[in-house]
Amino acid sequence: MKTRNLAAGLFMCALAFVLTWPSLVTAEETFKWRMQVLWDSGTLPFQIEKRFAERVAELTDGRLQIKIFPPGSLIPTNQMLDGLQTGMLDMMKQYEGYYIGKMPEVAFTSSLPLGFTDTWQFETWFWQLGGVEMLRDSYASLNCYYIAPTIYGQEPIHSKFPIHSVDDLKGKKGRFVGLSGPVMQKLGATVTPLPTAEVYSALEKGVIDFADRGGLAANYDAGLYEVAKYIILPGFHQPTTATCYVANMDSWNELPEDIQKIVETAAREASAELFQQHLVKGMEALEKFKEKGCEVIYLPDEEVKKIREVAVGVWEEYAAKSEKAQKVFESQKTWMESLGLLD
């Protein structure tokens, strides 16, 4: 009798445990983020961002779902950092050149005119020589977390007029963002930092005469062959380019550590994919531009040297704007010297 009672009691305890299991074990939390991106829909970089979001959802088993918003849909492109700080966005994909006035150090981490000549030189500086750590320190003071850069090669200039020398730039109106802006100004051009998505219409309406916008593949996707018939190479204003994934710090800290690691890993994976596709599809796009009647002009070496003298002066000017900018610049300068890129 005692044995039967004991067995019955154990059974009832086990049954009660099973019935109350949902209340004892909390289901894994699902996080939903809003991320606004730099590139307009239909372009190669936008597709990379969609794949990034899909990859994060895949690797986290749906625990982090990132909804992608096109540029300007939630907040103007040049105000995304403000939106991130206030929590309007959980994450952004941005080109830091938009806010070099607020953070002079990012003048060097977005792109360095006539600086690094190879994507992997820039990549190495970020991950092996302290670049990522410096940026995480800078963004922490803004209640933001710098996740990772996305690094790719040169961007061309698209122009409504032929450019063969520095003198051809004088008196012209251009769209440039980051350090390329002050460089162009010192070369005699008038510069406006329009958002990427507005470049096509600005060229079409004659608001600007020439512009930087993105890589060749993305620019072909955006139809720039319709509004600018000249492509200028090399892309001296942005020989290498870095955009970035940055999160609101509160949103970031809410994530479990394993999801944080997955986001960082997926971000680096996206960087590698964009670099590779930028190179391959960029070469294909250049031929397509020619088929559309565009002329490709390669600047002579002597003209590039003239521009570099101006660019180096702008580097030094921005390095002097803050202690953090000086630290970043000195680190990059040392690396460029090791690579033989500086005399």
The tens digit of pLDDT for each residue in 180-227 reads: 999 999 999 999 999 988 999 999 999 999 999 999 999 999 999 999
Say whether both 190 and 318 belong to one domain: yes
Angle at 318 between CA 312 and CA 321, to 5 degrees: 150
Distance CA 325, CA 319 (A): 5
Say whether both 267 and 166 belong to one domain: no
Residues 57/175, Cβ–Cβ less than 8 Å = no
Phi, psi of 160 (to 5 degrees): -90, -5
| Residue 343 confidence class, pLDDT cut points 50, 70, 90 | confident
Phi, psi of 230 (to 5 degrees): -120, 135
Residues 92/39, Cβ–Cβ less than 8 Å = no
Residue (of 90, 92, 93) closest to 31 by Cα position: 90
pLDDT at 12 over 90: no
Query: Burial level of 145, CB count in 10 A (0-12/13-18/19+)?
Result: buried
Distance CA 180, CA 96 (A): 12
Residues 122/246, Cβ–Cβ less than 8 Å = no
pLDDT at 19 over 70: no
14 in a domain, yes or no? no
What are the tokens at 303?
A: 């003209």
CATH number of the structural domain spanning residue 267: 3.40.190.170
The tens digit of pLDDT for each residue in 300-311 reads: 999 999 999 999
Q: What is the pLDDT of residue 42?
A: 87
The tens digit of pLDDT for each residue in 289-303 reads: 999 999 999 999 999
DSSP letters for 257-300: HHHHHHHHHHHHHHHHHHHHHHHHHHHHHHHHHHHTTPEEEEPP
Say whether both 93 and 210 belong to one domain: no
DSSP letters for 57-85: HHHTTTSEEEEEE-TTSSS-GGGHHHHHH
The tens digit of pLDDT for each residue in 233-276 reads: 999 999 999 999 999 999 999 999 999 999 999 999 999 999 99
Say whether both 219 and 119 belong to one domain: no
Say whether both 118 and 70 belong to one domain: yes
Q: What is the pLDDT of residue 63?
A: 98
What range defines the domain where residue 66 resides?
29-154+239-279
The tens digit of pLDDT for each residue in 88-127 reads: 999 999 999 999 999 999 999 999 999 999 999 999 999 9
104 in a domain, yes or no? yes
Distance CA 237, CA 180 (A): 5
Cis before 234 (ω within 30): yes
Distance CA 8, CA 175 (A): 80
Q: Total domain count for the chain?
A: 2
73 in a domain, yes or no? yes
pLDDT at 8 over 50: no
Say whether both 101 and 49 belong to one domain: yes
